[in-house]
Structure 1
């Protein structure tokens, strides 16, 4: 059972002061967070790609590369790479370079993204949303399969027997499919034999169990061994010494972000009752003390079937010291308990 973190490197106004941290400062803080995550024994750290003012990570591979020489074991991934509006050649080159710097610890999490700013920025039409992703994923997988590539599509210049360099340490370079719960994307990952990441950020996490089964069914149908393909989850959360403290620290910035997105997308207001309902045992927020968060992750493993859990923290702008403390608790208290309990449960299940 792998435990890790993800961040969007957000730079929203401070809830109390209204001050906005600079992109440069937040990027430096995230590098410190990655280094700490490695030191406390976490398995993976993901950085998400965005192209708007309130996010500082337009190039996750570059931020991860800054942390790579300062870390030893932790895997470094995008979360996600917006492949639909990216050039798969450059994506592969960036993460292959990261793989070299980290000596084989890079991963790509490919997705379509939940924001649309990158499409006009890079000259793509939203009407081609689905076709762009399918075509570019096809090219990315061809590049990782072969040093020399011949390929033709509708949205990028053709490639005729050209080499793509550098080549990664890992063969193949891991490529994950990120999904918000769309059955088509889940089936695609299974048919391609690629590991799957589910963004579980609302509702009841146990409701994602049928999607995991659908993924495994598709993988089996395509001749892949589903036991070899990891299913990960990505969920918002925060850890502190007590559950009350964690909730009180995490709510203000979460409310600010959710209400801003709500105004942009037509959602209703996000209040404390919505927040508290989501952090209940069956809810999608992993907020509380170490035992509370660990028990929820164990529950997710047993009832949904995920084998990697990524805690997304912070949501919005939170004090860097608070984020660092949450990372420390996740690595030193939550992860050991989850790994021990899951290992015991799996052994008992095998003996039956």
Structure 2
């Protein structure tokens, strides 16, 4: 059994929270160059995939993941490069395919798309889309993207953009079809959609016990079987917040300041509950924070993979802004210490 291990990032870029206090925010250009360095290291230490998110707000540095991934493409050899996510509802599927097909050329077949509605909505008014069309935009654009991915020439008609009549979309990807993961926060409806369409799925599991997603996974599998898809050809992935240091205690201390600061910002926007050190430690002990030394994180990954039947596990790092050198060290530990433990456990499964 092969379990892919990787990373996701949103390119967080706010004030940098540390045990010793708050450091100034760095320029977005510096943060973007740091991300390329992080991806390069992830490849060097043997991680399987890196996904980069799209945002259009001042506390995240990356609005166009493909451009950053393309820079990393020339510095890497094996790692698969993905968005995490492409906000498909406010983008054009033709251009999405073209950008990723270009990335696929630069990587010689290592590009992927993680398509989602987007948990942030800033892109909708920015690009002139009506939030009242939230569901329709996603459904139609996903349908069009899949057609473009499968066919060189496309004929398509819908309500959210002009029709296409027997037009070719170029360049074509190196891979016969680009992998398109459907990203979801965990609604059963999204699981059913992905299964019915025969798309691989990535769950964003960022709170509570990961085991609660077993129902969603079963919905996904049932929908795929009903639609006639081969489950052995479909991938089930998740991404969860996490951080690795040399010891458990060091990881707990170093990760808390940025996690607390980030949670407080999002909680204010979304009316989430309060967050404190007790909540933080509960999520580490019994929930979905994959924080600790290499052995602790590896054991929790193994348990989650077995509980949910995953074949891909992604740690989201960082949450909030952390010192670049801390992120680099965590990535190194992930590849050099955590991954061998997980690989060894599953090699005979």
Shorter-chain TM-score above 0.5? yes
**Structure 2 counterpart SS, 1:17:** strand
The residue number in structure 2 matching 1:268 is 273
The residue number in structure 2 matching 1:3 is 5
The residue number in structure 2 matching 1:118 is 123
**Structure 2 counterpart SS, 1:279:** helix
Counterpart CA distance in 2 for 1:82 and 1:288 is 31
1:279 counterpart = 2:284: yes
Q: Deviations over 1:106-139 (max 9, x none)?
A: 0000000110100000111111111110000000
Counterpart CA distance in 2 for 1:179 and 1:247 is 28
Among 95, 108, 112, the residue aligned to 2:113? 108
* Alpha-carbon shift at residue 166 of structure 1 (Å): 0.6
The residue number in structure 1 matching 2:55 is 50
The residue number in structure 2 matching 1:73 is 78
The residue number in structure 1 matching 2:161 is 156
Q: Deviations over 1:304-327 (max 9, x none)?
A: 111100000111110111100100
The residue number in structure 1 matching 2:335 is 331
Counterpart CA distance in 2 for 1:73 and 1:292 is 27
Q: Deviations over 1:135-171 (max 9, x none)?
A: 0000000101111111111111111111111100001
Counterpart CA distance in 2 for 1:147 and 1:302 is 39
Give structure 2 stretches of 5+ with no counterpart.
none
**Structure 2 counterpart SS, 1:115:** coil
Counterpart CA distance in 2 for 1:154 and 1:23 is 37
Among 287, 293, 299, the residue aligned to 1:295? 299
* Alpha-carbon shift at residue 176 of structure 1 (Å): 0.6
Instruction: Using structure 2 for the length normalisation, give the TM-score.
Output: 0.97
Q: How many residues align?
A: 344
Are 1:301 and 1:342, in contact at CA under 8 Å, matched by a contact in 2?
no
Among 165, 174, 177, the residue aligned to 1:169? 174
**Structure 1 counterpart SS, 2:237:** strand
Query: Where in structure 1 do 4 or more consecutive aligned residues deviate above 4 Å?
Result: none
Counterpart CA distance in 1 for 2:129 and 2:13 is 26
**Structure 2 counterpart SS, 1:49:** coil
Give structure 1 stretches of 5+ with no counterpart.
347-352
* Alpha-carbon shift at residue 213 of structure 1 (Å): 1.3
Q: Which protein has greater RCO, CA pairs closer than 8 Å, 6+ apart? A: 2
**Structure 1 counterpart SS, 2:16:** coil
* Alpha-carbon shift at residue 81 of structure 1 (Å): 0.4
**Structure 1 counterpart SS, 2:268:** helix
The residue number in structure 2 matching 1:228 is 233
* Alpha-carbon shift at residue 214 of structure 1 (Å): 1.2
Q: Deviations over 1:76-124 (max 9, x none)?
A: 0000000011100110001000000000000000000110100000111
* Alpha-carbon shift at residue 228 of structure 1 (Å): 1.2
Counterpart CA distance in 1 for 2:83 and 2:127 is 19
Counterpart CA distance in 2 for 1:299 and 1:267 is 28
1:308 counterpart = 2:339: no
Counterpart CA distance in 2 for 1:102 and 1:136 is 25
* Alpha-carbon shift at residue 17 of structure 1 (Å): 3.3
Instruction: Using structure 1 for the length normalisation, give the TM-score.
Output: 0.97
Counterpart CA distance in 2 for 1:306 and 1:127 is 34
RMSD, matched Cα: 0.8
* Alpha-carbon shift at residue 276 of structure 1 (Å): 0.4
Counterpart CA distance in 1 for 2:282 and 2:191 is 27
Counterpart CA distance in 2 for 1:109 and 1:317 is 23
Counterpart CA distance in 1 for 2:121 and 2:306 is 35
The residue number in structure 2 matching 1:350 is none
Counterpart CA distance in 2 for 1:55 and 1:295 is 31
* Alpha-carbon shift at residue 18 of structure 1 (Å): 4.4
The residue number in structure 1 matching 2:69 is 64
The residue number in structure 1 matching 2:147 is 142
